[in-house]
Each structure stands twice: as structure tokens, then as C-alpha cells.
Structure 1
Amino acid sequence: MKHYRVIPSPLGEMLLRAEDDALTGLYFVGQKYFPQDVTQAGGAHSPRVLEESAAQMAEYFAGERQRFTIRLQMTGSPFQRSVWSELVKIPYGEIESYGRLAQRLGLPAGSARAVGAANSRNPVSIIVPCHRVISSAGDLTGYAGGLARKSALLALERPSSAPQQLELLDAELPQ
């Protein structure tokens, strides 16, 4: 049985979705790929994971949490799951390019778009930090929650050094 909870955030309301004792979704309300099967059904008692997720998200937005300890259950293709596994390795306050993610996955040159497509289907945004991935030129591209939110999340994580890091990333890429 799926359970849902809407929580506030400084960037707009977010929907938490859980099944059993695992978080299966975290979306900005109305974002691209927002789940179409949302109902208010799910029983009188919401799973503990929804309470924990709401608390940890509030701590994140308050600048008090950098790592999440929520059990996740993510459904996707093997390729999507491999990309999502790499996303969780990007440290808080750091960024990575789609091309570099493709290299880390051992994919051939030119696979950055495939990585971007898998990244965009991440069902647990922020906790699986798809917002930390940018273009190799340092541009903010592709975020299902919108580029303004992506920019705000990066600024939350590195308010004083995000622009400098964007410039450094481009210099680190192989030519």
C-alpha cells in the first residue's frame, strides 16, 4: 500500500511517497514526472519513514543535515539504477558533470545525454542528489523540479563557493 504526505519547503510543497518501511518518492508538487497515481488513500497511520523523511528534509533546508539516513526503495531500469547509485556518491556541496558521471560508469564517450535522461527520472530528488549534476560547461541544465530550484539547492549547499566551483569543474574535464 502506498502512503503519501505533503510537506512544506522553502522551494514549494513536496510530496513524500512510501511503501512499507521505505521511501519511494520525493517530488516537488507539480514537477516534471510528478506521479499520476497520487491518492489520499493509504490507511489511518502513516509509516514511520514518512515522519523521518519529513524531519530530515526540514533539517536539510535549515542547513543542519548533509546526509540522509532514510531507507529508499527506487524503481527503475538497471541503467537508471546504476546512474542513481553514482548520484549518492556526490558529496554535499560538490557538483559533477553528466559526462564525468558517464565516465565513472564506464560508458562510451557521448553518453552524457543518456545519463541526463536517467538523472531526470530520479524518483527521490534531493536525497539522491540529482541537483548536483551540471553540464560540462558549468551550466545548470535539466532538473525536473525546475532550474530555479536546482540553483537554490546548490546555493543552499555551497552559498559562497558554487560559482567558483562551476568554473573549476570545466577546467578539470579532459579535453
Structure 2
Amino acid sequence: MPIYHHPTPIGTAVITEQDGYITAISVNGDDQPTNIDAPNQTLLTAIEQLDEYFAGKRLVFDLPLKPEGTRFQQEVWQHLQTIPFGSTVTYTQQSRQMQQPLAIRAIAAANGKNKLWIVIPCHRVIGSGGELTGYAGEIWRKKWLLEHEAKIAGVGQLSLLL
């Protein structure tokens, strides 16, 4: 299972590939470990698309993804991919859009198990009062990503509560 470390404006992206699919992308601290092997074509494509995203040139990812999770988690992650670039929804809105209004906590928990950060945009889900909650990559990264997308999408600065 090839793993590649790639610098980004918010820290080092750790990208995992298996059998031609991207299975995980997370962002760690700013230390970039040395990559032992050159990235394969799937990893190169992921790196290129992440670079384009951070440069403001990519709004939608087109990668072969294979997230591992339950059927319910898969449904939640598929829904996350329908949230437009530069937009946010609340956990309550997400549960209603998924026609599961009583499953807010289960949906939030599934969001938290997303291993394909940025590409499956769980950062676009916020608390009902506009607060930034529930991001495994630390709240400051979630805020950075949302402000980056708002700027690129031309919606100005999002009004975010901490």
C-alpha cells in the first residue's frame, strides 16, 4: 500500500493508494517525512489535483476513490460530495437532505470517520449556529479550507464562529 507525503499550505498531506484507488488523505503537522519511493500514477494524479485545489484552480476532484466503511458511512460520504465548493451545510441540513432527520448524530459520526479529507469535503459541514465543530484535522484547518473555498468561489469571507 503506497503512501506519499506531500506539502500543502495547511500541513503535510498523507496520501494512501491501494490497487489503483486513493483510500485515504489526511493532513498532519508541518513536518514532511522523506518519501522513500517515487509516487505511482494514481498518487501523482492525487498530488496534482490537491495542488490545483490549493492554487484555486480545482473545484471538483476526479480521483478513483475507495473509502472503507459501512453502507451507511458510504451514503453519508457520497452526500458530502454533493455539497458545492464554497458552500456549507449544517449537520441538521445534511440529515434532512439525506431524508434522515433523526440521524444527526450518526451522520456527524460518519463524517468524523471520513478518511479522504478535502476530497470528500466533510469540512463543509458546520454546527447549526454557524460554529466550526467536528473536524479531525483541527478547527483552524477547517476554517482555512472554508475561507479558501469562499474566496475562490467569490462568496467573500464566510461568517464563521469559533
Normalising by the residue count of structure 2, what TM-score does the alignment of the two structures yield? 0.88
Distance 1:108 1:13 in 2: 36
Question: Are positions 1:153 and 2:145 aligned together?
Answer: yes
Distance 1:108 1:86 in 2: 14
| Unmatched segments (≥5 aa) in structure 2 | 30-34
Give the alignment partner of residue 121 of structure 2, picking from 89, 113, 129. Answer: 129
Report if the CA contact (8 A) 2:92-2:101 is conserved. Answer: no
Amino acid paired to 1:15: V
- 1:54, distance to aligned residue in structure 2 (A): 0.5
Instruction: Summarize deviations over 1:39-97 as a string: whole Å, max 9, x none.
Output: x89xx564311000001101111111111111101100111111001000001000011
Report if the CA contact (8 A) 1:66-1:92 is conserved. Answer: yes
Distance 1:77 1:117 in 2: 12
Number of positions where the alignment pairs a residue of Structure 1 with one of Structure 2: 152
Structure with max Cα Rg: 1
Normalising by the residue count of structure 1, what TM-score does the alignment of the two structures yield? 0.81
Residue number in structure 2 paired with 1:99: 92
Residue number in structure 2 paired with 1:173: none
Amino acid paired to 2:11: G
- What percent identity do the matched residue pairs reach? 36
Instruction: Summarize deviations over 1:95-148 as a string: whole Å, max 9, x none.
Output: 011111111222143x22211110011010100000000011111001010000
Question: Are positions 1:138 and 2:137 aligned together?
Answer: no
| Unmatched segments (≥5 aa) in structure 1 | 31-39, 168-175
Give the alignment partner of residue 111 of structure 2, picking from 113, 116, 119. Answer: 119
